[in-house]
């Protein structure tokens, strides 16, 4: 009985020792700076070394990267105590100009279970990438677009967006400024100082509650870039960016009874014809609903077209007359194919369109 008890204790002690025996991860490098690399030079690779400082074999179970642009390779065999292995990390700079910071997560059966490695650097873009992804040039500054479409916003809502910027210079730090902020639109460069090869943004914030117009609002911003320390080779520039937002009323909370009492808009035609002999045409807007119809805005983007309306509030069963006149000398073309938009307080149809067609 005593011998059996000693054997059992011996087995228990061995099991306890085995349970504490495990590999321990010790990294000789946990980050790598690639510095400035050129996109046309292709992929870059580095190695980070790991030592097993534990008392049992260590196994890398898997490796996960934070981006598809980053790949890894490693030895999948067990790492004996005291031995060293390495993780090879490859970064692909194709179509990724600017600064980058990427993480590689290494999982093992030892301690710690997960390690986070980091690579970083800066990519100088080749000409093809600049043309494709940053087509708008503002001196050495490049923009992804010359417009910021914000879509539809119900009155009272706010929305923000941005354009990505890139300092394409390899030598000059740029100062970036944005002009054109109003009570309803705030815009800024973030950051306003861009070192060579770095990425930034032009941020916009639109408040529909203070927007001046119903329907489409188009605001123009001016983006300016200049070198922080001007030199004979420094490139300065200026360009305009349009911010567009469609401001509509919010009728989503109207009850069925309120909808039945609401105004209803009807137009006498969906197309107006013009010519040099007949540059003016008219149509009527009728309220077939119960409450007063408000014609909040009548507009067109066509140059040389003027719109006049004899009333902006139309009572139940009444009509308003809209007169449209085309000045061919300001139109700038011989064919007219545009549209007139009516924005009203009719819940079922806030925006109504009439085509404008003519030959001069």
> Residue 232's pLDDT band (boundaries 50, 70, 90)?
confident
Residues 6 or more apart whose Cβ sits within 8 Å of residue 352: 265, 267, 341, 342, 344
Structure confidence at residue 267 (pLDDT): 98
Q: Among residues 336, 321, 338, 341, which one has the least CA distance to residue 268?
A: 321
The CATH superfamily holding the domain 26-124 is Immunoglobulins (2.60.40.10)
Structure confidence at residue 6 (pLDDT): 47
Structure confidence at residue 4 (pLDDT): 53
Structure confidence at residue 233 (pLDDT): 86
Q: Domain ranges for the chain, please list them.
A: 26-124, 134-248, 256-359
- Reported as half-sphere exposure (CB side, CA atoms, 13 A), residue 190 has a value of 12
> Residue 269's pLDDT band (boundaries 50, 70, 90)?
very high
Q: Among residues 356, 174, 338, 193, which one has the least CA distance to residue 281?
A: 356
Exposed (0-12), middle (13-18) or buried (19+): which is 245, by Cβ within 10 Å? buried
In tens, the pLDDT along 70-80 reads: 999 999 999 99
Positive or negative, the Cα torsion across 116, 122, 127, 129? positive
> Residue 21's pLDDT band (boundaries 50, 70, 90)?
confident
Same fold, 26-124 and 134-248: yes
Residues 6 or more apart whose Cβ sits within 8 Å of residue 131: none
Number of other CB atoms surrounding residue 84 within 10 Å: 11
Q: How far is CA 44 from CA 95, 101, 227, in A?
A: 14, 14, 30
**Are 99 and 199 spatial neighbours (Cβ–Cβ below 8 Å)?**
yes
The secondary structure of residue 41, as a DSSP letter, is G
Any idea which of 13-27, 99-113, 199-213, 241-255 has the lowest mean pLDDT? Answer: 13-27
The rounded radius of gyration (Å) of the Cα atoms in the chain is 33
Structure confidence at residue 231 (pLDDT): 86
Name the average pLDDT for the chain. 94
Percentage of the chain exceeding pLDDT 70: 94
> Residue 15's pLDDT band (boundaries 50, 70, 90)?
very low
In tens, the pLDDT along 220-231 reads: 999 999 999 988
Domain over 256-359 is classified CATH 3.40.50.2300: no
The CATH superfamily holding the domain 134-248 is Immunoglobulins (2.60.40.10)
End-to-end CA distance of the chain: 117
């Amino acid at each position: 009985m005593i011998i059996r008890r000693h054997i059992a204790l011996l087995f228990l002690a061995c099991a306890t020792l085995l349970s504490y025996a495990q590999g321990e991860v010790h990294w000789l490098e946990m980050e790598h700076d690639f510095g400035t690399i050129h996109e046309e030079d292709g992929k870059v690779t580095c190695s980070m070394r790991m030592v097993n400082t534990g008392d049992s074999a260590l196994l890398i179970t898997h490796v996960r990267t934070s981006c598809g642009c980053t790949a890894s390779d490693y030895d999948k065999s067990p790492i004996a105590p005291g031995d060293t292995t390495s993780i090879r990390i490859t970064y692909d700079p194709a179509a990724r100009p600017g600064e980058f910071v990427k993480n590689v997560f290494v999982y093992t059966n030892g301690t710690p279970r997960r390690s986070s490695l980091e690579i970083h650097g800066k990519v100088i873009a080749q000409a093809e990438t600049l043309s494709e992804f940053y087509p708008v040039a503002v001196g050495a500054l490049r923009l992804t677009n010359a417009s910021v479409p914000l879509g539809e916003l119900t009155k009272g809502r706010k929305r923000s967006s941005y354009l990505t910027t890139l300092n394409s210079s390899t030598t000059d730090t740029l100062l970036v400024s944005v002009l054109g902020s109003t009570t309803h639109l705030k815009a800024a460069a973030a950051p306003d100082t861009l070192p060579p090869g770095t990425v930034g943004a032009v941020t916009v914030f639109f408040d529909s509650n203070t927007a001046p117009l119903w329907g489409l609002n188009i605001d123009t911003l001016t983006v300016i870039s200049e070198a922080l320390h001007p030199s004979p080779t420094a490139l300065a520039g200026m360009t305009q960016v349009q911010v567009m937002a469609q401001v509509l009323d919010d009728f989503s909370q109207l009850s069925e009874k309120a909808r039945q009492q609401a105004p209803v808009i009807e137009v006498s035609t969906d197309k107006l014809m013009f010519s040099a002999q007949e540059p003016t045409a008219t149509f009527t807007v009728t309220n077939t609903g119960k409450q007063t119809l408000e014609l909040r805005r009548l507009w067109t983007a066509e140059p040389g077209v003027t719109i006049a309306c004899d009333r902006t509030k139309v009572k139940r069963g009444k009509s308003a007359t809209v007169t449209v006149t085309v000045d061919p000398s300001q139109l700038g073309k011989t064919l007219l194919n545009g549209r007139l938009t009516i924005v009203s307080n009719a819940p079922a149809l806030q925006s109504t369109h009439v085509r404008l067609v003519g030959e001069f």
